[in-house]
Every structure is written in C-alpha cells, then in structure tokens.
Amino acid sequence: MLKLLNNPKSDNTRNILNADLFVSNLHNTLKAFGFNPKVTYEVYRSITVYHITWNDDKIYDDILELKKEIALSLEINVSELVMNKVKDNEIFIKVDNMKKDILCLKEVLEDYKVDNDFKVVLGLDEYDKLVTFDFDKEKSLLVTGVSGTGKTNLFNDIIMNILINYSNVKVVILDSQGINYNLYNDVCEVVNKEEDIIVKINLLRREFEDRVKNNTRDKMVVFIDEIYEILKLDNSVKDDINYLLEVGSTMGIYLVVSTDSVLEDDTYDLFNKDNVSKISFYLTSRGEYNMFLGKAIRDNLGKDGMYLDNDKNLIRMSTPMVEDDEIERVCRYIKDNK
C-alpha cells in the first residue's frame, strides 16, 4: 500500500550551503582569537552538528568565553547556543536548520522493515534514525500538547501504520470532537458522540474481562482523543481507563490517549504514570513538561515532539505529516479488498 502514499519532496541543499558558510565563519572567528581550529559538520533533516577541534594550548574554558562570537558566526542567539564538551580540545554544537522539509509517511515506512513485533514508526529523531513504538513492550501511549501542535497528526500516523502493516489489528477511535477521524469510518470503529464514547469505554473494560475468561488476545488499539472532554462529562470513566492502561495489554487491548494539558487534577492523575510511554508536543510552561515527562525541556520544539519510552530515554523527534488524500486512498483500498 506504500504506493498509495504521497511521494517525499525533501531537499537538503539549502542547509548544506548554510553549513558551508557557517563553517567558514566559525573557522575565521576562532582563528582571530588565537585558535588553530578544524571545523567539520553533519547535516540532517532538522539539525546540523558542527564538530570543532583544536591543537594548541587553548582549553575548553577558553572557547566557552567566545559564546557570543560563536553564536554570531552561526546566526543564532546566544541563548540557543549549547557547546557540548567531548574533550579539552573538542566540542560539538547542534543547531536547528533554517529550512525544514515536511517529513512524509512514505519516507519512514519505506525504511522500516516489518518483523514479528507489533511496532509502528513514530517518526525520525534528530539524527534521521527511525523512532518506533513497540506495543508489545511499551503497552500504551500517553500524548499531550496544546491544540494545533501535532497530536491529531500523530494519531493519524499511528493509525495509518497499523492499517498498512497489520491487517489483523482492530482500530477503535473515540473522538469527542467528531471531526478529525471520520475518514476512517469504513475501516475502523469510529465513535463521535460523547455519551457513546462513555458507553464504549465501559464496554471495553467488560470486553477485557470477557477476554480473560475466554483467553482471547486478538490485538486492538483504542485511540482516545482529548480525554479531558470525556472526564468533564463523566469522571467515572477514569477508573476504566486506568484499569485498561495498567492491564489491558495483557489481553491485547492497547490504549493511545491524548489531552491538551495535564494541569487539571483528573488528567494529571491519569497521565502521571511511570510505567507508560509518553509523547509531549509544545506545552505552555516548563513546569508542565516536568509534571508530564519528569524532565525539564528547554528546547523550542516547534512541531517536534519529545518521546519518553519505558526505559526513560528522552528522544526529540519529527513525526510525518499525514494528508487527508493519503488516508482516503488507503481506506478505499482496504474497503475494496476486504
């Protein structure tokens, strides 16, 4: 089905030209302050990494004193500059690229080799390596971020991964807004009305209990978008969701749940879990990142997300943009070939 997806249009030429210019700037600046530098770079989709070494009597503290001049050479603010020490005479600097091409779903799925594990591709890390989510290992996924930062697109990314690579997995989408996932109506179970969503969550817990009795483990992924809207209507579903987050995966029921904030008590209680993987898009305060991820985030994320896996590895990643026409083509193909 990959042929049904849009073709990528990435071109890093502009970023490579910028890197050539900035290497020259860095070399000339450091030379002017008595360094004998060697400057190299690696250009990735989102960032460029500059490696600086020098063979003279200068030490790391000497180059630290040139933060303002180095930032000027790279055309960034001093506050954005982080010089990472490798040795007394070696550092590297990561700089966000000025030009960032849109990442396409076809790009990441072409590079991913499906195996026996139940994995989906979330996107690419800063070094253009695939970031995957293993449902069998990670169990469930909690997602937060203010409106418009990428939660719906991430849901589309995961749903399309499943539809394309795992025909035996049932997808259930609970969308209280009723507008984001209707393109999947013919191939997934999409529930829009808030009252129906509450009933469905209750039924999912009952289904789990039936699966235990019958020893059934058919895989099902349940997406719950903007859970805070449901909690406002009926707080009792929190117990059912907590229960399924804790044990649902033992019988093949996996949850992907999103909210736009964890500041409300009910959502905080639900999202404050140590044994569940998490993704955070842009939040309005550093304190909220810390509440959700347990780690301080100082990066300007833009449209990127921070993925915290069960092993507590924190990865900045770009998720592929999923277009409506791709969803339509894939869903039509699945419907026509049932």
CA separation for the pair 144, 165 (Å, rounded):
26
In degrees, to the nearest 5, what angle opens at C-alpha 143 toward C-alphas 198 and 322?
100
CB burial class (10 A; 0-12, 13-18, 19+) of residue 286?
Answer: exposed
Confidence of residue 266 (pLDDT cuts 50, 70, 90): confident
Q: Kindly state whether residues 150 and 205 are assigned to the same domain.
A: yes
- Domain-embedded: residue 2: no
- Tell me, what's the pLDDT at 162? 98
Whole-angstrom distance, CA of residue 108 vs CA of residue 242: 32
Average pLDDT, the chain: 94
pLDDT, average across residues 31-56: 95
Percent of the chain with pLDDT over 70: 100
- Nearest partner of 318 among 120, 150, 112, 141, judged by Cα: 150
- The predicted model scores a pTM of 0.93
| Window from 50-59, 72-81, 264-273 with minimum mean pLDDT | 264-273
For residue range 111-121, list pLDDT tens digits in order.
Answer: 999 998 999 99
- Give the pLDDT band of residue 77 (cuts 50, 70, 90): very high
Domain membership flag for residue 3: no
- pLDDT surpasses 80 at 233: yes
Burial of 72 (0-12, 13-18, 19+ CB in 10 A): middle
Total domains present in the chain: 2
Mean pLDDT of the 20-48 span: 97
CATH number of the domain that 66 lies in? 3.30.980.40
Residue 287: pLDDT over 90: no
Per-residue pLDDT at 4 exceeds 90: yes
> Which tokens in the block code for residue 204?
């999912």
In a domain, 177, yes or no: yes
What's the pLDDT score for residue 295?
83
161 and 196 share one domain: yes
Kindly report the CATH number assigned to the domain that includes residue 175: 3.40.50.300
**Residue 10: per-residue pLDDT:** 80
Domain match, 269 and 316 both: yes
Residue 285: pLDDT over 90: no
DSSP 107-159: HHHHH----SS-EEEEEEETTS-EEEEEHHHH--EEEE--TTSSHHHHHHHHH
Mean of pLDDT values over 92-112: 95
- pLDDT of amino acid 338: 82
Cα-based distances in Å from 86 to 89, 127, 137, 289: 8, 18, 34, 28
Look up the domain containing 256 and give its range: 105-336
Q: What pLDDT was estimated at residue 87?
A: 93
Q: Which amino acid makes up residue 123?
A: G
* CA 92 remoteness from chain centre: 25
Whether residue 24 is found in the same domain as residue 155: no
**pLDDT attached to residue 9:** 80
- The pLDDT assigned to 126 comes to 96
pLDDT at residue number 278: 96
